[in-house]
Structure 1
């Protein structure tokens, strides 16, 4: 039993302490340092109160999952984050033995769903798909971002990534990247550039592109990646910069024109599209990523189970085939760890902070 000294008497607070001899030893040691027994006993009692919580967390982790898991996608249906998560959800569900429900919660360039996940109970039953925007550039683009992607989440794993493709409406005059760059440079504020919202990868990718070639365009925002691509297909805007996962089908069918892919090598899903290096802009290499996050404080054992489920899904031939068909790149080896994702988030925040700062007001 542990007793707390209340100056006039000792009160039994009914806390079992198996190592009573250890307690006596600690009390004696602290007494020698001039600390009262009351202070020592209260400190030990406070520490002991943490044990039931730890035991409860362990029990929850060993039993996890015992009900459905909700995964929030911060964008509209049909976009890259939504597509990747839905491709993987079925296999992950079979691995975990519970249903994974993918829900779309667009708003404020993905920050609404991210905030909701931050505030959720850290038990592994509410997760969010974060990406280059929500967990990278948003820090630089929103002065009052209600979460910190570096400290408010438990990183689980990178799901997939896709190189950026510079695309234009199918009847845009330039025929290759060099002509397109010259066309932009000679037409300041005359071309309409689509993006899926501030902090979306389509916004930051073209921000960096325009910065590199010293071009200025009219920014036309849409509520997510898919609506912005649909606007390009319909000829309502002139160009955009977006990831393979969002534009491969439209490029293949000729509904939009691809000028270059911002990768060191050509993508098998778009073998006829040259790289930016081939097009004369080797410094423009960029990809967007999607990853899975849990609220801060989610038990490590649960994070590990989820990380394992992601890895198993990425190793599945059917899942890999569907992602490769869309031009996705999948993490390999050490890139699949939770720590690798934590490092990626920190690096992305630093990178995009520099880009946004250099771009100035927009």
Structure 2
């Protein structure tokens, strides 16, 4: 009798083990949902959709992008943090969702350090400091002079953490006071910059560069340490103001809920790296200063730790406090 029971348990265990291996081998067996925590048309959305299409080619299943904008990416990130860790709900996150929010929000609805599984790194882009054409400044130094003469009267738009922190850092480093205006999306903020409702907007190339090139706004500087090949005539913030060590770039990467199966993580990572190496994708986004950097899930995990520390220091230096 005991032997019969033991054999039943053994058979059940072997069947369960075989089933788990079969599930792992069959992943993905249905469409994957990728949450973009920012609005359609944003850099995260454009880059995310391009990666999703390439990933689908490698995985043999659609990767369906769903936009969940709001609260600097927190709303979309929270959806993924609370989703099943089965590999079918991903976060196409950024420095906002996976590095900076920890220092900006007192009561995050999830633990940023433990809520996600790092999967794969997409790449990074610098930002452009731009102003409305009616602002009588032809350079960043000129804009700073106007702001110094009118403390608190110059306004800047922001719809993400990188946009806000970059502007606050700039104000801190330049010794000026500006008033921030929050927007739900980058495209909405850009509309108001063009219309003159705000004076300055520091945002990624996807949102700013086309408008700068069309003459609808005036680009003053880029936020990277080196000038961008996409618009080499613009100086860096460091060059424009005669300072050192100002740098703020946005990055993009894929994450899943904590506890994802290793096999699924590795398959997704390979699909992301294949996309990052795609000539079609890299050439498509070269104009926005996008640089890919394929790597392992472990490398992304280490990068997130370093970026979280970096953004904490940047936020503190900008005089910002968690709200």
Please point out which of 168, 179, 188 is paired with 2:142.
179
Aligned to 1:245: 206
Structure 1 residues 266, 54: CA separation in 2 closer, same or farther (over 3 Å shift)?
farther
Please point out which of 246, 261, 279 is paired with 2:222.
261
Aligned to 1:355: 314
CA shift for structure 1 position 330: 1.4
For the residues of structure 2 that align with 1:136 and 1:164, how far apart are their CA atoms? 17
CA shift for structure 1 position 65: 0.9
- Determine whether 1:319 maps to 2:278: no
Aligned to 2:35: 72
For the residues of structure 1 that align with 2:224 and 2:92, how far apart are their CA atoms? 24
Aligned to 2:245: 283
Aligned to 1:307: 269
Structure 1 residues 166, 78: CA separation in 2 closer, same or farther (over 3 Å shift)?
same
For the residues of structure 2 that align with 1:282 and 1:123, how far apart are their CA atoms? 45
**Deviations 1:260-299 (Å, cap 9, x if unpaired)?**
1122322121121112232123321121111110111111
Please point out which of 53, 60, 65 is paired with 1:102.
65
Structure 1 residues 350, 265: CA separation in 2 closer, same or farther (over 3 Å shift)?
closer
Whether the aligned pair in 1 keeps the contact of 2:230 and 2:289 (CA below 8 Å) is: yes
* RMSD over aligned Cα atoms: 2.3
**Deviations 1:97-152 (Å, cap 9, x if unpaired)?**
11111010112221111111111111111101111111111101111101223211
Please point out which of 328, 337, 342 is paired with 2:301.
342
Aligned to 2:233: 272
Please point out which of 219, 228, 234 is paired with 2:195.
234
For the residues of structure 1 that align with 2:288 and 2:312, how far apart are their CA atoms? 29
Per the normalisation by structure 2, the TM-score is: 0.91
For the residues of structure 2 that align with 1:93 and 1:360, how far apart are their CA atoms? 40
Whether the aligned pair in 2 keeps the contact of 1:193 and 1:237 (CA below 8 Å) is: yes
Which has the higher Rg, Structure 1 or Structure 2? 1
- What SS does the corresponding residue of 2:10 show, helix, strand or coil? coil
Query: Counterparts in 2 of 1:29-178, with a 5 A limit?
Result: 56-178=19-141
Structure 1 residues 242, 67: CA separation in 2 closer, same or farther (over 3 Å shift)?
same
Structure 1 residues 53, 206: CA separation in 2 closer, same or farther (over 3 Å shift)?
farther
CA shift for structure 1 position 69: 0.7
- What SS does the corresponding residue of 1:15 show, helix, strand or coil? helix
- What SS does the corresponding residue of 2:299 show, helix, strand or coil? helix
- Determine whether 1:190 maps to 2:149: no
CA shift for structure 1 position 209: 1.5
Extract unaligned runs of 5+ from structure 1.
Answer: 4-10, 18-47
Please point out which of 9, 12, 23 is paired with 1:15.
9
For the residues of structure 1 that align with 2:156 and 2:15, how far apart are their CA atoms? 56
Whether the aligned pair in 1 keeps the contact of 2:162 and 2:248 (CA below 8 Å) is: no
Which structure exhibits the higher relative contact order, with contacts defined as CA atoms closer than 8 Å and separated by 6 or more residues?
2
Per the normalisation by structure 1, the TM-score is: 0.82
Extract unaligned runs of 5+ from structure 2.
Answer: none
- Determine whether 1:292 maps to 2:275: no
Structure 1 residues 325, 53: CA separation in 2 closer, same or farther (over 3 Å shift)?
farther
CA shift for structure 1 position 171: 2.3
Whether the aligned pair in 2 keeps the contact of 1:149 and 1:345 (CA below 8 Å) is: no
